[in-house]
Amino acid sequence: MADTRQGIVTLFIGVIGALVALSLNMPMALLAGPAVAVAVAGLWGIQTKISPGLRNAGFLLVGLSIGSLIGPDSIHAMMRWPIAFAILGVLTLITPWIGQWLVPRLLPFDRHEAFLASAPGHLSLVIALADSLSLSLTRPVVLASIRLMALTLVIPLAAQTAGMDIGPGLPRGFITSSWVWVLMQIAGAVALSPVLHWLKLPAPTLLAGILVAATTHLASLTTGTLPDWLAQGALILMGSLIGTRFSGMSWQELRHSLLAGLTIVVLTSGLAILFAIPAAHISGLPIIDVLLGFAPGGLETMIIVAAAMGADPSFVAAAHVFRLLVLAIVLTLYATKIHKQSAKEMNGQRPNPRAD
């Protein structure tokens, strides 16, 4: 009952945030507005939460909406993906190492903490490694939350400043699918999601929705999209979910890590831009697609932003999945190396992990 009440409160705050953002003509208002409103509420001590079932429903609906935007041009562009992926692989490999070298020179971080903080994603694995290295368990969460929120707000604003037409939410389809087709696609995505989860792919419910919708549209089985109110409502839910990352966090914790978080955002985003420009030139892919694919933001958020900005969501999704796979290998190898060194230095003993 408490979870239901928290969910209702969270969505109410998210809707208020969306309305305020719309009144201010913010780009991606239906995502950014709820994210900011729910985050501020959480920092003020309001318990915000989205239940796993509701979260997955939102992912599924957003996935179906985004998948319906994937057309034949995306299939043709796949021939150029390997070039961009190769460059992305190099970027993913060197980013934590550059962070390990640079961040301790700017901020009070030790080398291991700087390495993990600079990893562009895979928060659950980063926390597990921080625990094993007796590092702070709360700081990675705070830093990741700052990074995701900053990119959610800054990328649409930067695109609008550059002259792009960024609407308040996902693009509206010209034709709405019948409820029969909508329900059939939902059923297909629900069936596919456990398979993707078994394959250990990130965001399996979101990816299932994208794959099912893209397949039915590319096969010309349907040409319509979800009802607009349903797609945009799911976007408000996703924005509210982003904001819940700040639930239970205090203003003091945010202030303590804000400079570090923004510094790491600048570092990782700068490296992403530095690699994305030549990758787009060499591969022939649109620069906006590559920039969003290389961005150090969350997979789900960047796919949504890509769809709203008219980029190819299939490339952005594939790029972020590929990056997470490479990053998992990088982090695991790094942890193995550190543990071997620690075993020699500490004779197999280690201190208890700090809580913060």
User: Looking at the 3D structure of the chain, how many domains does it have?
Assistant: 1
What are the tokens at 244? Answer: 């819940």
User: What amino acid is encoded at 76 in this protein?
Assistant: H
Report in angstroms the alpha-carbon separations of 169 from 20, 274, 306.
14, 28, 11
Tokens representing residue 347 in the block: 């004779």
Give the domain CATH number at 105: 1.20.1530
Instruction: Say if 342 falls within a structural domain.
Output: no
Q: pLDDT (tens digit, 9 = 90+) per residue, 97-110?
A: 999 999 999 888 88
- Environment class of 290 (CB within 10 Å of its CB; exposed 0-12, middle 13-18, buried 19+): buried
Give a yes or no: residue 345 inside a domain.
no
Task: Flag whether 343 is in a domain.
Answer: no
Evaluate whether residue 352 is within a structural domain. no
Please give, one letter per residue, the 3-state secondary structure of 21-58. Answer: HHHCCCCCHHHHHHHHHHHHHHHCCCCCCCCHHHHHHH
Domain coverage including residue 236: 1-43+51-337
Encode the chain (356 residues) as per-residue pLDDT tens digits.
667 889 999 999 999 999 999 999 999 999 999 999 999 999 999 999 999 999 999 999 999 999 988 878 777 888 899 999 999 999 999 999 999 999 999 888 888 888 988 998 878 788 888 887 777 777 888 888 899 999 999 999 988 888 888 889 888 777 788 888 899 999 999 999 999 999 888 889 999 999 999 999 888 887 778 899 999 999 999 999 999 999 988 888 888 889 999 999 999 999 999 999 999 999 999 999 999 999 997 888 899 999 888 899 999 999 999 999 999 899 888 888 877 776 666 555 555 555 45
Instruction: Read off φ and ψ for residue 136, nearest 5 degrees.
Output: -60, 135
Instruction: Give the pLDDT confidence of 174-186 residue by residue, as tens digits.
Output: 778 888 889 999 9
